[in-house]
Structure 1
């Protein structure tokens, strides 16, 4: 199984956003050094806990500091952009970093109503996602009426971040899929993936391909790994109470606070579901996941407050899968 990283440029309560972006670039350099396949970054707008809303700009910085690892978006939210502009950005990255660029695409809108209003995109607008994907592919493959510059002679690969409806779109368009989030825990997932593979219509020789994306944290013992997973679990639980996805806090700061009963239940439930533990325990969880999904690649989206511990976890995960 191939192994890649998705870094969301998570902010920390005790540092500024610029440090989060610098840490993303440093993590990409480390990922290349320990031989990860890809390094992807994400698009989230006006979220306090995430520093980057423009993956293509951040990828230019990542590509400049690396030389071999594939770089990509996980993903560009296509409903928020014109397909021509997305194609231009992808091609510019490919011209700067030849043959290393992946274009992961999603359909999510803004996190809150004010953000969606600022993006000029409301939930009740017509769904043009599939048509936009076809238009974008036409630009990338030079089959559209408009020729996108710069011309590189290469086609930037498209990947679709997909759930149930997205899997059907990917099958019709002959695209590889990235599956993550709550969909991974769904009892329906194996059947949905079987349908995706059955209905897949090849495009230029493409074949059905599944990447699974989830948080994975590895440490020398299970208790330490569980502590590494705590900051993200805490932020997620608190966001459901406050409506704001906040920067990561240190384990000590979290332990020193009062835990409302509902938050405690949510945190404990999240930690129980987390793929966090020793190399052997994580290996067993990943083996079951691959058996269940037939995934060809793992896109680890892990984050924690302690950046040194995160790099150590990345290295242990790479050694485990290798």
Structure 2
């Protein structure tokens, strides 16, 4: 049995393109993932980020769902402190009614934004402290067992959309274990606590109505190409793009200017974020991902295909799927 592969679509808006281009690329990516045997595609909620088009996560899922037929689609994740649990239950209950048996709901407690954006979202800075209670309230709406007298999520009531706890720290691991939910670790950009968090989750897990045994999804970056040189060239572009996004202060930069950023110290931060990245030919990617799955003690890998261009990204999706078909769990 091969280890299940899924995709985290970062919905990038590349330099010189539009949000419409990004959304069209997300449709193409989900279709290619469906054709090549990936289990699910997830989209993450981000706000006020000029190079990411997945802020309205549920709307994007609905659009992609209408243009695919079988692959699971979901949030990886919704930043629950930005929303009322009832609103999210209604949104994802609607999606489940539209695409039965295909919808996932991953939940995070990070703001996914800066302080000014938090204000614009009308977000209470203390709302992250209520995350565990909000998860339970949301879960109850979806199960048809509302914790708020006289209030039901319609659509949503009784849909039992599966929940996943996302995280990069011990907090998410222990919460997922206590609630008996699957745990998705954001090791594709925050690798530091991967192994201790997964170990704690598995050790403390308590079975629930949704899940009878621990289930770990680990994030990993992939840049797969037909040749090693093409993959390395693409990865160099990924590093430059990430450096500009993190440290460019909103400015557009040439490749040379981006390289200066990397050489000037940004490279250390970028490379730490990209610790878990497979770069190379299908054989090289297979070897890396097999080792990573074992290191992460993962039941499933969710891949961020970091290729800078759409066609290259689609090819990376294909090559990785083909390479991993024979890798045992």
Pair in the same fold by TM > 0.5: yes
Give the corresponding residue for 1:259: 260
CA contact (8 A) 1:68 1:100 kept: yes
Query: 8 Å contact 2:110–2:128 — kept in the other structure?
Result: no
Task: Give the C-alpha shift of residue 301 in structure 1.
Answer: 1.4
Q: Which residue of 2 aligns with 1:194?
A: 199
SS in 2 for 1:230: helix
Instruction: Give, in angstroms, the shift of residue 184 of structure 1.
Output: 6.2
Distance 1:134-1:125 versus aligned 2 partners, 3 A rule: closer
Q: 1:33 aligns with which of 35, 39, 47?
A: 35
Is 1:73 matched with 2:75?
yes
* 1:150 corresponds to: 155
The match for 2:12 is 10
Aligned residue for 1:127, secondary structure, equals helix
- Aligned residue number for residue 242 of structure 1: 248
Q: Secondary structure at the match of 2:219?
A: strand
Match of 2:108 among 93, 106, 109: 106
Shift of 1:21: 1.0
Aligned match of 1:173: 179
In 1, the alpha carbon distance for the partners of 2:156 and 2:114 equals 37
User: Could you say which residue in structure 2 is the equivalent of 1:289?
Assistant: 292
| Residue correspondence of structure 1 range 13-162 to structure 2 within 5 A | 13-121=15-123, 123=125, 127-144=129-146, 145=149, 146-150=151-155, 153-162=158-167
Deviation, 1:116, is: 1.5
Structure 1 stretches lacking a partner, 5+ long: none
Moved more, 47-56 or 224-233: 224-233
Q: CA deviation at 1:192?
A: 2.6
Q: Distance between the aligned counterparts of 1:179 and 1:273, measured in 2?
A: 12
User: Against the structure 1 CA distance between its residues 9 and 205, is the aligned structure 2 distance closer, same or farther, given a 3 Å change threshold?
Assistant: closer
Partner of 1:219: 225
Check the 8 A contact 2:143/2:158 in 1, yes or no. no
Given the superposition, is the C-alpha separation of residues 224 and 256 from structure 1 closer, same or farther in structure 2, using an over 3 Å criterion? farther
Instruction: Give the Å deviation of 1:205.
Output: 5.6
Q: Is the 8 A contact 1:237 1:266 kept in 2?
A: no
RMSD (CA atoms): 2.4
- Deviation, 1:12, is 1.1
**Cα distance in 1 for residues equivalent to 2:304 and 2:277:** 12
- Aligned residue in 2 for 1:203: 208
Deviation at 1:175, TM superposition (A): 0.7
Q: Which residue of 2 aligns with 1:317?
A: 320
Counterparts in 2 of 1:257 and 1:79: CA distance versus 1, 3 Å: closer
Mark the CA change 1:272 to 1:175 in structure 2 (over 3 Å): closer, same or farther. closer
Gaps of 5+ in 2: none
Question: Take 1:257 and 1:134, find their aligned partners in 2: how far apart are those partners?
Answer: 44
